[in-house]
């Protein structure tokens, strides 16, 4: 999946090969570069705050979190993510999703629509699933945030993750972390027993590939303990 | 997204004081506001985060229910008292948005949810609601999702909430506090028709905050139901919906409360339908008569004429369901 990561655009791959060997230039370095010359206009505002350069991205998250403020509008924000305390210096307008991806290098949480319509950005806040694109990081100081990176314990996959593999519950994989976070939350929510109930309870996660049949099978198998 | 300053309010009084500067806004669940900030439809200079206020409880209230403004949609929908006393409200909530959004969205915020009109959400188009006096792009544009009731020549945008439709049928009361003190507003007086000022959507004054909503005690043998019709099975706004509460005496309707969603510029209570139903036999013919009355003033535009018949059938079906033995 890494080689064909769905959020890796064809342009990215082409530029990678035409400038540096792929091993030396990551997708994220490339995105950072185009942001600085103003091509990726949507990415640019995100990269102005808690600024990450390519080297920081590849360092452990704790170092990234301690990066100095680079914008006058930034404020200190402390988040607890997957059990770890992270100190950030970011603008209030940084969404929880962007803080995770752009400031903490937790790329498991995906940006799909960025408007609460697709569910790719689903994370847990205090054990409840939410769309991380529709909330600001600064609103979550003191909250317990769990991302897909926090599900496995000591390398042991969460049963929902294992079930998604077992049932081949994805094609391109872009929606998968959001699907998994929703499915994990669903296990503790009031949700009917049959497949229709699973579909309804998973309706906040859109899969463009249409892997729904296998997603429902994966969720069903975990709920039944199979 | 434009820059803004952020502050977190510690109590209601502080929240009201903090929101007084021009361009300040409350943020709770954020599911509407942050979406619209990304689209630059909303450009607050200061966000006052009210999530820390003690307004997140559901409490019995003299046979009725008192619902804090910060009660999340999912908690309200799954509350035992709501499910037992006001199934129409639980059903309406669960028909709206997604589990993730319902975990975020609040009772107060949902009442103030903004329209999904494409032209309101796109700053490149004229919109009297967003930019008073600029015109209405929906009028001659693609208006399939737009309103047929309560429209004006200035705006045909629908109110998108399901929860508010149920609360409209239930006759909720909205409690607010602000710079001039506390007041309560019956939900039937809360929303403003667009008229010539579609930018004014409700009677809230500057700086006022919704603290809680009360629901009157349900009648002993009342039954209620919410039916929503939309373009896909879930996670979609209503094309037409009906919230109905009916008290039956045998097969005779003693009292009916009817509200409709997806068709009105505000959550649409229908005294006309209620009048037709009161004292009538619970029959399809009478339900149809009520539906005709409810939509009598409907005005279609280019693409949304289908909603008039859809709304009638939705109401008939909801009434059939709720009056089933």
The answer to whether B168 and B243 have CB atoms below 8 angstroms apart is yes
Distance CA B74, CA B53 (A): 18
The answer to whether position B175 is within a domain reads no
Lowest mean pLDDT among A64-73, B60-69, B159-168, B279-288: A64-73
CATH of A58-150, one of 3.40.50.1000, 3.50.50.60, 3.10.20.30, 3.40.50.11540: 3.10.20.30
Dist. CA B57–CA B55, nearest whole Å: 6
Residue A8 CB contacts under 8 Å (≥ 6 apart), including other chains: A27
Contact B98 A189 (CB under 8 A): no
Name the residue with tokens 């009906």.
B242
Give the mean pLDDT of A188-205.
97
The B residues from 114 to 133 touching A (CB cutoff 8 Å) are none
What pTM did the predictor assign? Answer: 0.88
Contact yes or no for B99 and A139 at CB 8 A? no
- Cβ(B285)–Cβ(B302) under 8 Å? no
The token pair that represents B166 in the structure block: 């149920």
- Contacts with B4 from chain A: Cβ below 8 Å: 92-93
Three-state SS at B307: helix
**Strand pairing partners for A89?**
A76
What pLDDT shows up at residue A225?
86
Computed over every residue of chain B, the mean pLDDT equals 97
Looking at residues A52-74, what average pLDDT do you find? 47
DSSP per-residue letters across A111-171: -SSSSSSS-TTEEEETTEEEEGGGSBGGGGTT-EEE-GGGTSBTTBPPHHHHHHHHTT--S
User: Residue A219's CB: how many other CB atoms inside 10 A?
Assistant: 28
Which of B27, B43, B99 has the most A C-beta neighbours within 10 Å, making it the best mutation to test the interface with A?
B99
pLDDT exceeds 50 at position A60:
no
Q: Which residue has the higher pLDDT, A23 or B155?
A: B155
Among the listed residues B165, B187, B184, B297, the one whose alpha carbon sits nearest the alpha carbon of residue B244: B165
Alpha helix locations (H) across B162-205?
A: 163-170
First CA to last CA across chain A, in angstroms?
A: 27
Does B5 lie at the interface with A, CB-CB under 8 angstroms?
Answer: yes
**Residue of B97, B98, B106 to mutate, interface with A, max A Cβ within 10 Å:** B98
Tell whether B45 is within 8 A of chain A (Cβ): no
Is B148 part of any domain? no
CA-based R_g, chain A, Å: 18
Q: How many CB pairs under 8 A join A and B?
A: 82
CATH H superfamily, domain A159-223: [2Fe-2S]-binding domain (1.10.150.120)
Cα of B95 to nearest chain A Cα, Å: 10
Position B160 in a domain: no
The CATH number of residue B4's host domain is 3.30.43.10
Interatomic CA distance for residues A24 and A19, integer angstroms: 10
Q: Does residue B44 lie within any of the structural domains?
A: yes
ipTM of this complex:
0.97
Q: In this complex, is the C-beta atom of B300 within 8 Å of any C-beta atom belonging to chain A?
A: no
User: Does residue B20 register a pLDDT over 90?
Assistant: yes
CB B238 within 8 A of CB B258: no
Indicate the pairing of strand A144-146 with strand A75-81: parallel
Q: What is the pLDDT of residue A29?
A: 55
Q: What percent of chain B has pLDDT over 70?
A: 100
For residue B79, being part of any structural domain is answered with: no
Q: Which among B121, B154, B158 has a CA at the least distance from the CA of B139?
A: B154
Name which of A180, A165, A181, A173 is nearest A6 in CA terms.
A173
d(Cα B35, Cα A113) in Å, to the nearest integer?
11
Give A72-120 pLDDT, tens digit per residue.
599 999 999 999 999 999 999 999 999 999 999 999 999 999 999 999 9
Q: What is the DSSP track for A14-80?
A: HHHHHHS-TTTS-HHHHHHHHHHTTSSTTTHHHHTSS---HHHHTS-HHHHHTPPP-STT-EEEEEE
Which residue of chain A has the CA closest to B79? A190
pLDDT value of position B211: 98
In A9-38, the residues whose Cβ lies within 8 Å of chain B are none
| Fold match, A58-150 / A159-223 | no
Query: In chain A, which residues have their Cβ closer than 8 Å to the Cβ of B74?
Result: 128, 189
When CB atoms are compared, the residue of A73, A95, A134 closest to B31 is A134
Is A111 near chain B, with CB under 8 Å? no
Least reliable range by pLDDT among A32-46, A174-188, B9-23, B245-259: A32-46
Residue B172: the pLDDT is 98
Asked whether residue B188 is domain-assigned, the answer is no
Residues in chain A: 226
Residue B217: pLDDT above 70? yes
Mean pLDDT of all residues belonging to chain A: 80
Minimal Cβ distance to A139: which of B38, B49, B233? B49
Distance (Å) from the alpha carbon of B100 to chain A's nearest alpha carbon: 4
B158 occurs within a structural domain: no
Any A CB within 8 A of B283 CB:
no
Cα separation values, B313 from B289, B320, B323, Å:
11, 10, 15
Tokens coding A140: 């979550």
CATH code at position B308? 3.30.390.50
Domain containing B18: what range? 1-51
Residue B17 three-state SS = helix
Q: CB-based contact (8 Å) between A192 and chain B?
A: no
A109 touching B (Cβ < 8 Å): no
Instruction: Kindly state the DSSP code that residue A95 receives in the 8-state scheme.
Output: B
Domain boundaries, chain A: 1-47, 58-150, 159-223
Q: Where are the beta strands (DSSP E) in B77-208?
A: 173-178, 181-186
The kind and range of the H/E element at B245 are strand B240-249
Q: How far is A135 from chain B (nearest CA, A)?
A: 6
Number of domains chain B contains: 2
How far apart CA B240 and CA B260 sit, in angstroms, is: 7
Confidence bin at A32 (pLDDT 50/70/90): low
Is B72 inside a domain boundary?
Answer: no
Q: Which residues pair with B25 in a beta bridge?
A: B47
* Contact between A124 and A130 (Cβ < 8 Å): yes
Interchain pair A203, B78: CB under 8 A = no
Of all residues in chain B, the one with the smallest CA distance to A46 is: B1
Residues 6+ apart with CB under 8 A from A114: A97, A121, A133, B38
Percent of chain B past pLDDT 90, that is, above it, reads 99
Tokens of B297: 């003033």
Q: In whole angstroms, what is the distance from residue A215 CA to residue A183 CA?
A: 9
Distance from CA of B98 to the nearest CA of A (A): 5
Taking CA atoms, B83 is separated from A55, B65, B236, in Å, by 54, 12, 22
**Is the distance from CB of B42 to CB of B2 less than 8 angstroms?**
no
Contacts of B8 in chain A (CB under 8 A): 139
Residue B135: is it exposed, middle or buried by C-beta count within 10 angstroms (0-12/13-18/19+)? middle
Q: Does A155 touch chain B (CB under 8 A)?
A: no
User: In 10 A of CB B244, how many CB atoms?
Assistant: 31
């Amino acid at each position: 999946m890494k080689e064909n990561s769905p959020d890796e655009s064809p342009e990215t791959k082409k530029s990678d090969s035409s400038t540096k060997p792929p091993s030396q230039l990551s997708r994220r370095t490339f995105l950072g570069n185009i942001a600085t010359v103003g091509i990726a206009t949507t990415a640019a505002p995100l990269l102005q705050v808690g600024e990450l350069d390519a080297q920081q991205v590849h360092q452990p998250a704790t170092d990234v979190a301690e990066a100095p403020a680079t914008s006058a509008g930034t404020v200190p924000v402390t988040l607890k993510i997957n059990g770890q305390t992270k100190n950030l210096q970011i603008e209030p307008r940084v969404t929880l999703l962007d803080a995770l991806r752009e400031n903490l290098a937790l790329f498991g949480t995906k940006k799909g629509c960025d408007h609460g319509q697709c569910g790719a950005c689903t994370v847990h806040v205090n054990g409840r699933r939410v769309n991380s694109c529709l909330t600001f990081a600064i609103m979550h100081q003191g909250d317990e945030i769990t991302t897909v990176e926090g599900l496995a314990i000591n390398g042991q996959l969460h049963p929902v993750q294992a079930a998604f593999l077992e049932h081949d519950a994805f094609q391109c994989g872009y929606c998968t972390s959001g699907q998994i976070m929703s499915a994990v939350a669903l296990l503790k929510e009031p949700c009917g027993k049959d497949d229709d109930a699973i579909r309804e309870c998973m309706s906040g996660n859109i899969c463009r590939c249409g892997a729904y049949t296998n997603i429902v099978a994966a969720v069903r198998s975990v709920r039944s303990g199979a | 997204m434009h820059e803004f300053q952020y502050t977190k309010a510690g109590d209601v009084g502080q929240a009201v004081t903090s929101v007084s500067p021009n361009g300040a806004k409350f943020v709770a669940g954020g599911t509407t506001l942050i979406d619209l900030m990304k689209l630059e439809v909303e450009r607050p200079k200061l966000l006052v985060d009210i999530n820390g206020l003690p307004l997140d409880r559901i409490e019995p209230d003299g046979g009725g229910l008192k619902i804090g403004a910060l009660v999340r949609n999912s908690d309200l929908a799954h509350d035992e008292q709501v499910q037992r006393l006001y199934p129409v409200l639980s059903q309406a909530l669960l028909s709206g948005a997604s589990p993730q959004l319902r975990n975020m969205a609040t009772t107060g915020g949902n009442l103030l949810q903004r329209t999904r009109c494409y032209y309101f959400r796109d700053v490149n188009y004229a919109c009297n609601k967003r930019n008073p006096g600029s015109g209405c792009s929906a009028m001659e544009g693609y208006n399939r999702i737009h309103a047929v009731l309560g429209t004006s020549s200035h705006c045909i945008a629908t109110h998108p909430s399901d929860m508010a439709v149920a609360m409209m049928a239930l006759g909720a009361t909205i409690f607010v506090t602000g710079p001039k003190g506390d007041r309560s507003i019956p939900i039937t007086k809360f929303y403003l028709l667009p008229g010539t000022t579609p930018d004014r959507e409700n009677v809230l004054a500057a700086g006022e905050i919704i603290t809680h909503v009360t629901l009157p005690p349900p009648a002993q043998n009342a039954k209620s139901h919410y039916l929503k019709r939309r373009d896909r099975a879930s996670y979609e706004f209503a094309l037409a919906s009906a919230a109905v509460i009916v008290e039956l005496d045998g097969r005779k309707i003693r009292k009916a409360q009817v509200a409709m969603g997806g068709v009105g510029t505000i959550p649409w209570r229908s005294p006309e339908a209620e009048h037709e139903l009161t004292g009538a036999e619970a029959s399809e013919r009478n339900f149809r008569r009520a539906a005709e009355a409810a939509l009598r003033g409907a005005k279609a535009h280019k693409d949304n004429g289908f909603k008039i018949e859809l709304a009638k059938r939705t109401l008939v079906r909801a009434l059939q369901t709720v009056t089933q033995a």
